[in-house]
Structures are given as C-alpha cells and as structure tokens.
Amino acid sequence: MSDPTARLTVTTDGDRIVVAGDIDAHTCPDLAAALDPLPGSGDVRLDVADVGFIDSSGLRVIIGTHQQAEASDRRLLIEQPSKSVSRILEISGLTDHLHIVEAG
C-alpha cells in the first residue's frame, strides 16, 4: 500500500525512471537510491514531468548521476522537465550541461 504522506514517488521501469512529487533534502535519498547503480545498460531516462518542486538537494542527485553516467559512456536523459525543474536548471546555468529532452 502506498504511503499517503509520501511527497515523492519513484517508479523504475527498465532504463526509465519516473519521478513525481517534491524533491528536497528529505526525499532525494529515494531518488538517489533508484539511480545508484544506474539502471539498464544504455541511456538512463529520468522522467520529471510530474515533479512539482525541486531544490538544490535534488540538483545534487541529478548532477552526480549525470557524472556517473558520463563516466561509463552513458547518458542521463532528463525527460519532459516540469516548470519547477526547468526553472532551477536555468537559474543554475545547467541547461547546456545536461541532456534535457523536452516534451515532444
């Protein structure tokens, strides 16, 4: 049964990870656990369309995972970034340093 108080859900389906809710210092360990070790053997797809909030704690997980993927000649694809995700990536100057896949 799902935890009604949970602010973040992380669902893994092969190389695709779907994240929904709030990513902060409290919830980011759940995201980090889903990304370490990297799932699958190719690009890792991180769907963040339903992330309602993210702060620098979440950024730390994303940047660390991006670096881990690059080190093994793989990519972390940040798919369909929500408004909150897009804004913090832009403010942080990370838009051009990460692999971002906007909604088609």
Say whether residue 26 binds another protein (CB under 8 A): yes
Q: Which is nearer to another protein, 13 or 56 (CB)?
A: 56
SS3 label, residue 85: helix
Tell me whether residue 26 or residue 49 sits nearer to another protein (CB atom): 26
CA angle 88, 90, 92 (to 5 degrees): 70
Q: Does 91 bind another protein (CB under 8 A)?
A: yes
Q: In whole angstroms, what is the distance from residue 104 CA to residue 93 CA?
A: 23
The correct pick among 15, 30, 43, 55 for binding another protein (CB under 8 A) is 55
